[in-house]
Structure 1
């Protein structure tokens, strides 16, 4: 089997190994009870359940004849078996099975331009990860009796790109045959490529600090579900946990504890971990709003007020949610510090894409400052959008200065600026990240004016919704079920607002980059994040990779439950979606609409 390096990275955790694996269950227990051989149940693929093909438990009379375990049944049940997300091209899965041991998976010839040592090392590491994933997928007890057949993967490197970008070619073709690889893999042919090139999650670590061990587990989950973007909402008014070598005061004034800081060398190690698993990390330094704690050192060091309204009370007079903080756009020292922060961050992160935030600016905060009102009077300004425009233009200049040798593309959230002052954010320069409601026609001009967009509508893919308020008692939002995320037709959503012609043009031209589920962390930390993210985001992953028919969840539910089971085997702790019995007697439980 030959694979490009990027294909090997994609296969690492993104698909189960596409071998059709049979399992022979042998009990190693000496305890009294029911042995596997005495257990009189088998599993049969039922093609016409309400949810599509699913495996159903059936009693074996007299406990005679072969019995098929659930994990074996699902591999050949339906057009996609256990594949998640399902491939977008040709899928042909053999109906016969062979035993397979992960020990028989071997790395063959690796062809690399210029025999590049770094790429060779990456390939070896990626293959080791793949072996580990296969080993977890086929537990030791299920590998007994496997034969001496080998699956050899030969890798052909076509270029020396080491990092995932939005231009990375994630397509692959996997072909195996009984004759070529007997007796390891039976006839499999898969042609696959993602429908959208941007498929990710936004995760906030500023409101509650999340250790790297938990972030690595999140990367494992993204990789396992073929999601390629980790948008890291790294800073906010709550805290500034990134350690800046040029401006260490930001962490000193802006962190909860000296133990809750992300150090540059730790971040580099984390980025390598993510990249090796096919995930790109995009940092966000949110500004000018959501910039409070960390910035308050300015006056003490003779730099003036770098941020206004920091921790101001009552918060509702100055910002959307506490604690408040919004950068001072008429203090030149604000831009000097911002430039240094950009430099430090781009020395650590990739410098092709950067999220600049830009949402929820409070004019009330700025108007509460005498500096601001004096500036408006001197400049005969009656609209603070002019000042915001100056800030955005200057901030982009500082970002570009921090990346002198590489063109960098900024991303900004939808805001009042994207609604009525887009002259400050031209489409040739910016990607707009839409968090407005999916039915909000305020975004129509964005679609019509040739912007590239990412969709993260707050009424459909906000994962933190529905867990109750963290302040006060009123809570008007509901939890988004996996069906809601799965059913989000990105192209159809744009068509509903701007018409089919615009929607189709955006998709075909690539201006519709893709989507991103959002997990804001007011009530999330490393201990409870898995169950709030997974498996709902797995459902969204299939939407973004496969783009299933609009409104349809047929063929999804049984495979999603199996996907959850495989994530558990890989050390991830997803929420449960149904009573366990329903997974084993599919077709007898209540339907959903």
Structure 2
């Protein structure tokens, strides 16, 4: 034990002796009695009582910690879960870690996960854990594999056992991989809450931490793809806000950050091989995601058990950043750029779509794809967008209509779909070369890498009647964004395609703030149930940012994204009605961690569980 830890332990014991006369702070009523919270049939019921209440009765948070089968855990575990109804005080300085049974190759990761865990404990007591304790927490970590790859096959399961003997708490977290162990630490942080106490020595209330005195949890996710999509092209989202979002994702065990990084309005992604894209496409020199920024996000996300899925939407949703072609002697790389009136050529302003008739476009894509592939480990997935191609744009572009005519094709929808499919096939071949899945410098000498999974949005090209003509089911995963009663996902599943659900009338967080769209509450998000097919990888909640920036982003995303997270991790058979108390507590947890989520209810409802459900 280091000298600093010894000093903290001595101070803890000293303060414990001095502060033995501490009494809990609970809300005082006018007649001198206090509000207390008692767990009755899984609900924390507020009652008036006299001084001398137990710690678990001092606040809604401390009661929720031990009340009901799942206490304050979010998302709820999928396996056997038991929690003790008693708690013990402790101080963050009293934690001891044992990594003897963690492979050496995995220790750096686990040390990073432990640092995040420790920081979250300090945030729980508002960065000021002044109430010390002589309780010692010994956390033993066991990780069976040294594999640090994170993909759809990664084992994210874990077990957590917490037992108490006197003033010693022993915690054992077992996992196959470091990512399961990380989830175990996240769950452990949710077995903790803060409390306030007064002392005969100190007049200022002191803040401490309490932890359940016993727990046994077995847990693993139902779906392997549990994502949040964030659009950072309509409005630029600064890096700190993105990292704050990733922290919040980790608190709910979401594991895919889908980064919709470019669109018609802006191209803020630096491409060293094609610097013109960001020079002409970024809103300003200060609103650029440099290579080092993207690498930082990838690193920070993985440390929290999250993959980064980068999306470059194409061939539609592409304008800003592509308009420099004529001046460079390359012709029109994009067409219909900024056409007015915009409704004639696109879905929303400014107009712009890539020009599949220009051979120079594919040379630029090859350089861009090489830059992207080098950001990620070999074989990592990539999102090519592929939604909302607006055929009137291509139909009004002479170079494209001349190409169709030269091939004996007409100008009907089927002809434009065929042209689109040819673009997609060429883009796939170019990306495979860039990613090293064919003969490429990224592949080891004399070998090839497995082709990376490619994700596309559902579109005209994914129509069940034609999709098998154009998109191989062993290469493409389809992300569907149709209403919950639309048969498209089932039809694609029946044809053997893997699906990621983004149900637009439940999981589109921008709805209700523009046009005739309808706002979907956390209850609607929670109650959106996915079919249990093997080829359903999972789902994503989506934050499009036409009307969102860093200032209102948190409240639009959270806690509704947390509701989706429990659906994807636990897929509970019970409805949202039985989740409200735990989600309300998780919202308070997000606040402590620096996120600003939307309020769920009047505070009276938070203090009186079940009365507003």
TM-score by length of 1: 0.85
**Secondary structure, counterpart of 1:284 in structure 2:** strand
Q: Distance in 2 between matches of 1:386 and 1:59?
A: 72
Contact 2:33 2:48 in 1 (8 A): no
Q: Deviations over 1:331-389 (max 9, x none)?
A: 11111111111111121134410000000001111010111111111111131111111
Consecutive unaligned residues in structure 2, runs of 5 or more: 1-18, 171-211, 437-442, 444-448
**Secondary structure, counterpart of 1:239 in structure 2:** coil
Contact 1:282 1:349 in 2 (8 A): no
Kindly tell me: are residues 148 and 557 of structure 1, through their superposed partners in 2, closer, same or farther at Cα, counting changes over 3 Å?
Answer: closer
Aligned to 2:34: 40
Q: Distance in 2 between matches of 1:24 and 1:456?
A: 54
Decide which moves more: 128-137 or 440-449. Answer: 440-449
TM-score by length of 2: 0.83
**Secondary structure, counterpart of 1:324 in structure 2:** coil
> Is structure 2 residue 536 aligned with structure 1 residue 512?
yes
Per-residue deviation at 1:214? Answer: 0.4
Aligned to 1:168: 154
Q: Distance in 1 between matches of 2:298 and 2:20?
A: 39
Kindly tell me: are residues 302 and 140 of structure 1, through their superposed partners in 2, closer, same or farther at Cα, counting changes over 3 Å?
Answer: closer
**Secondary structure, counterpart of 2:581 in structure 1:** helix
Q: 1:415 pairs with 436, 452, 459, which one?
A: 459
Per-residue deviation at 1:447? Answer: 1.4
Q: Distance in 1 between matches of 2:375 and 2:576?
A: 41
**Secondary structure, counterpart of 1:391 in structure 2:** helix
Per-residue deviation at 1:157? Answer: 4.9
**Secondary structure, counterpart of 2:305 in structure 1:** coil
Q: 1:435 pairs with 481, 491, 502, which one?
A: 481
Per-residue deviation at 1:588? Answer: 3.8
Contact 1:107 1:152 in 2 (8 A): yes
| Structure with the higher fraction of residues in strand conformation | 2
Per-residue deviation at 1:250? Answer: 0.2
Q: Deviations over 1:476-525 (max 9, x none)?
A: 1111100000000101xxxxxxxxxxxx5x2xx3x100010010000111
Kindly tell me: are residues 57 and 238 of structure 1, through their superposed partners in 2, closer, same or farther at Cα, counting changes over 3 Å?
Answer: same
Aligned to 1:243: 270
Aligned to 1:403: 435
Q: Distance in 2 between matches of 1:402 and 1:300?
A: 27
Q: Distance in 1 between matches of 2:610 and 2:491?
A: 46
Contact 1:25 1:141 in 2 (8 A): no
Kindly tell me: are residues 314 and 24 of structure 1, through their superposed partners in 2, closer, same or farther at Cα, counting changes over 3 Å?
Answer: farther
Q: Deviations over 1:369-427 (max 9, x none)?
A: 11111111111113111111110000000110111134311000000000043121111
Per-residue deviation at 1:258? Answer: 0.7
Give runs of aligned pairs for residues 32-71 of structure 1, distance below 5 A. 40-47=34-41, 53-61=42-50, 63=51, 65-66=53-54, 68-70=57-59, 71=61
Contact 2:235 2:549 in 1 (8 A): yes
Q: 2:136 pairs with 133, 146, 149, which one?
A: 149
Kindly tell me: are residues 539 and 529 of structure 1, through their superposed partners in 2, closer, same or farther at Cα, counting changes over 3 Å?
Answer: same
Kindly tell me: are residues 36 and 545 of structure 1, through their superposed partners in 2, closer, same or farther at Cα, counting changes over 3 Å?
Answer: farther
Q: What is the aligned length?
A: 532
Structure ranking higher on relative contact order (CA contacts 8 Å, 6+ apart):
1
Aligned to 1:287: 314
Q: Distance in 1 between matches of 2:478 and 2:494?
A: 13
Aligned to 1:97: 87
Q: Distance in 1 between matches of 2:270 and 2:53?
A: 64
**Secondary structure, counterpart of 1:165 in structure 2:** coil
Give runs of aligned pairs for residues 174-253 of structure 1, distance below 5 A. 174-179=160-165, 182-183=168-169, 186-253=213-280
Aligned to 2:362: 335
CA RMSD across the alignment: 2.5
Q: Deviations over 1:498-555 (max 9, x none)?
A: xxxxxx5x2xx3x1000100100001111110000001111111111110116x1232
**Secondary structure, counterpart of 2:403 in structure 1:** helix
Consecutive unaligned residues in structure 1, runs of 5 or more: 1-22, 48-52, 470-474, 492-503
Give runs of aligned pairs for residues 328-407 of structure 1, distance below 5 A. 328-350=355-377, 351-382=379-410, 383-404=415-436, 405=443, 406=449, 407=451
Q: Deviations over 1:157-184 (max 9, x none)?
A: 51232x4222211101111223498346
Q: Distance in 2 between matches of 1:212 and 1:27?
A: 43
Q: Distance in 2 between matches of 1:37 and 1:336?
A: 79
Q: Distance in 1 between matches of 2:161 and 2:167?
A: 10
